[in-house]
Amino acid sequence: MEKIDEFDRKILNALQQDTAASLDQLAESIGLSRNACWRRIKMLETSGIITKRVALLDPLKIDLGLMVFMQVRTNSHDPAWQKEFSNATNAISGILSVYRMTGDLDYLIRARVKDMADYDRLYQHLITRLPIADISASFVMEEIKETTALTL
């Protein structure tokens, strides 16, 4: 797929808002036939623009009300440590995102936990898996904006 056009943008915007909409509803809302809409969605999936379709959950209703950002500093920057860090963070439940950063900190981790005791479980699990120079955490007091939708 070379370039997305206006219909593709409309499809992507609509799917980012509600992936559960029926194909008929989606096609009607963007002004395409059902089959043309389906073909475009399949092309967007095949090209890797659509990577997956998921359900978004209310964390409060499933008892995961505490969001934490963990700032990680390490003394090791070799490929073996980076691989182990990647394996550890991918294996730990509650970790939602991990980013390698520029500047003063090396990694930023975003996690969802039940409470401080649950955070401590996650923290202990991480520091027992590999050596880390420093971890500091910031806890979210209020979520002002949270979205998964990308601007097209």
Kindly report the CATH number that applies to the domain delimited by 6-46.
1.10.10.10
Encoded tokens for 106: 């090396």
> What does the pLDDT read at residue 1?
62
CATH architecture for the domain at 59-139: 2-Layer Sandwich (3.30)
- 114 in Cβ contact with 65 (< 8 Å): yes
Average pLDDT of the residues of the chain:
95
Convert the pLDDT of each residue in 20-54 to its tens digit.
999 999 999 999 999 999 999 999 999 999 999 99
Q: Where are the domains of the chain?
A: 6-46, 59-139
Query: Do 6-46 and 59-139 fold alike per CATH?
Result: no
Instruction: Note the pLDDT of residue 2.
Output: 72
Backbone angles phi and psi of 96, in degrees to 5: -95, -40
- Residues of the chain with confidence (pLDDT) below 70: 1
